[in-house]
Amino acid sequence: MTLTRRSFLAGTGAGALAALAHPIAASARGLLTDPTLDAVIERALSAATRAGATYADVRVVRQQREALYAREDKLVGVESSDSYGIGVRVLAGGAWGFASTPRVTPAEAARIATAAVGVARANAKLLRTPVVLAPEPAHVDVWQTPMTKDPFKIPLEDKVDLLLALNREVMAVPGVRFAASFHEATSEWKRFASSEGASIEQRIVRIGPGYEATAIDDKLGTFASRAHDLPPRQAGWEYVTDSSLLADARRIGQEAVEKLRAPSVTAGPRDLVIAPSNLWLTVHESIGHPTELDRALGYEANFAGTSFATPDLLHKLQLAAPHLTFYADKTTPGGLATCGYDDDGVATQRWNLVERGVFVGYQTTREQAAWIGEPRSRGTAYADGFGAFPFQRMPNVSLAPGARTRSLDDLVAATDDGILIIGRGSWSIDHQRKNFQFGNQLAYEIKRGRRTRMLKDVAYHASTIQFWNACDLVGGADSWELGGAMADGKGEPVQLNPISHGCPPARFKQIDVVNTGRP
């Protein structure tokens, strides 16, 4: 039976939708506009100072998340979460202390502030070098995601209807047997204040829709899947309605069928033309993570390991070809890591990590800036909730476009014998970010400047420095696109950070192609 809006709302899912539509109790909702919130913050800061803190900051954070999942003609999952609380971070005796609570009241704020100072004093006994914060003006400001339609105010029935419509279009393609679609949205509201006088309020809204088609060959017992390449974005619901998600559905299904029937690739060195929908992840893993300063110094190794890009190589290492520049930027419009201020209260900015191929910069926080002799933080502190301690997290890291106007088709036309790589696939990379392998959604053979047959079982293998120095052509500004992911893990315990990476298409000479379909 096809699930309709009427039958869905009449069924057991109605309760879940009702909970998702009103996920926070009235008493908690009132706290966001409670006139005593200033008093809560003041009590926390004054209690920390009285207890002996030389610095203190407060973050009051509300985080909302909703997610819907559909398979074929059914809604199969509804998720909703909402958290609200306060975290207090202090310096005492040159060491950090932190405490948090979901009870946002003046008395509770004072209690956790005093507790945080106690934690800092205990940590100070083990500290060899005191924490020193780089100077930053005490900003007083408000910042929010530019958007027309708040996704949390869009009727949930409309979102369900979209997912089911996507699946219907995909399933209309002969050979497609399964379709899965999803919608995810997050809202992060935070109030930051410090003993230095900063007072900042921000609301960041992120949205990530998508779907996947799966084709099956019953005779051979094989299958192939194709996911849509629309990346998540910091935006409102208009990002979804203005997109080509629905218009592309049959094409996505047809590509899944073609992929199922495509010949397997022959392994060996090939010239690669890589679309932004695939290359952004390579930028993330081989440039973004290695330039996190805590990884480079060995203070962080969870999830992504350490880094080959150590400080002794700054301004010396030819990490990429001379025409390539990579930059970090927490001001990129639509970027998932974009905001007005980081969780140290530092105004966000743009700076180069690799300039004309040379490794020149790191991602830093107020604490880390002095470690490499920089006078100011790069503004990359982030905590993924009120109960988490802020630490260095990746900003939007991007490859700058080339000076000449070149499209993806232009790069294909300039290639005599190669492979075109499209879409994000599986990947792996070693713990110093040196050697990696990336899959894809689609791959096409290029012969004499023309895209020809589709290939399957394609992945490319390279070392970071060799790969980026093998790049001989990049697209221009008109071909630059923003990719990204709603969650990137780091730390112990793990914290999640949304992240975007922009890049143009690029060509790489003689990169090893491996066949993932053969043992």
In this structure, the answer to whether residues 291 and 173 fall within a common structural domain is no
Assess whether 338 and 487 both reside in one domain: yes
Same domain, 282 and 251: no
> What's the pLDDT at 34?
53
For residue 136, which of 374, 339, 344, 328 has the smallest C-alpha distance? 344
Tens of pLDDT, residue by residue over 67-96, are: 999 999 999 999 999 999 999 999 999 999
pLDDT for res 36: 78
Last residue of a domain, one of 238, 261, 284: 261
**Other C-beta atoms lying within 10 Å of the C-beta of residue 164:** 22
Same domain, 221 and 105: yes
pLDDT score for 355:
98
148 and 293 fall within a common domain:
no
Residue 27 structural domain = 5-261
> Could you tell me if 180 and 249 are in contact, meaning their C-beta atoms sit under 8 angstroms apart?
no
**Pair (230, 339) in one structural domain:** no
Question: How far is the C-alpha of 274 from the C-alpha of 225, rounded, in Å?
Answer: 19
Last residue in a domain, options 261, 296, 324: 261
Residue 235 near residue 145, CB atoms below 8 Å: yes
pLDDT at 35: 61
Tens digit of each residue's pLDDT (9 = 90 or more) over 109-122: 999 999 999 999 99
Domains of the chain: total:
2
How does DSSP classify residue 28?
H
CB contact at 8 A, 81 and 384: no
Q: Are 346 and 393 in contact (CB under 8 A)?
A: no
240 shares its domain with 102: yes
Do 227 and 91 share a structural domain?
A: yes
Q: Residue 185: give its domain's CATH number.
A: 3.30.2290.10
Task: State the SS3 of 155-186.
Answer: CHHHHHHHHHHHHHHHHCCCCEEEEEEEEEEE
Helix (H) or strand (E) holding 455: strand 450-455
Say whether both 292 and 147 belong to one domain: no
| CA gap 136, 378 in Å, rounded | 11
Say how far apart CA 114 and CA 40 lie, in whole Å. Answer: 14
Question: b or e along 4-19 (b: 16 or more beta carbons within 10 Å of the residue's beta carbon)?
Answer: eeeebeeeebeebbee
Looking at the fold, whether 145 and 284 belong to one and the same domain comes out as: no
The predicted pLDDT at position 134 comes to: 98
Q: Identify whether residues 183 and 284 lie together within a single domain.
A: no
3 state SS of 417: strand
The pLDDT of residue 519: 60
Rounded to whole angstroms, the Cα distance separating 6 from 287 reads: 49
Coil vs helix vs strand at 226: strand
The reported pTM is 0.92
Residue type, 207: I
Element (H, E) at 113: helix 106-124
Query: From CA 284, how far away is CA 398, in angstroms rounded?
Result: 8
For residues 217 and 358, membership in a common domain is answered with no
- Please tell me the predicted confidence (pLDDT) of residue 427: 95
| Cα separations in angstroms, 99 against 18, 50, 245, 388 | 34, 16, 43, 9
- Tell me the mean pLDDT per 10 residues along the chain, length 519: 37 37 34 69 98 98 98 97 97 98 96 98 95 98 97 97 98 98 98 97 97 95 96 98 98 98 97 98 98 96 92 98 98 98 98 98 98 97 98 98 97 98 96 96 98 98 98 98 97 95 98 89
User: What is the per-residue pLDDT for 33?
Assistant: 42
| pLDDT reported for residue 302 | 87
Summary mean pLDDT of the chain: 93
DSSP collapsed to 3 states, 29-51: HHHCCCCCHHHHHHHHHHHHHHC
Using the 3D structure, point to which of 261, 289, 319 is the last residue of a domain.
261
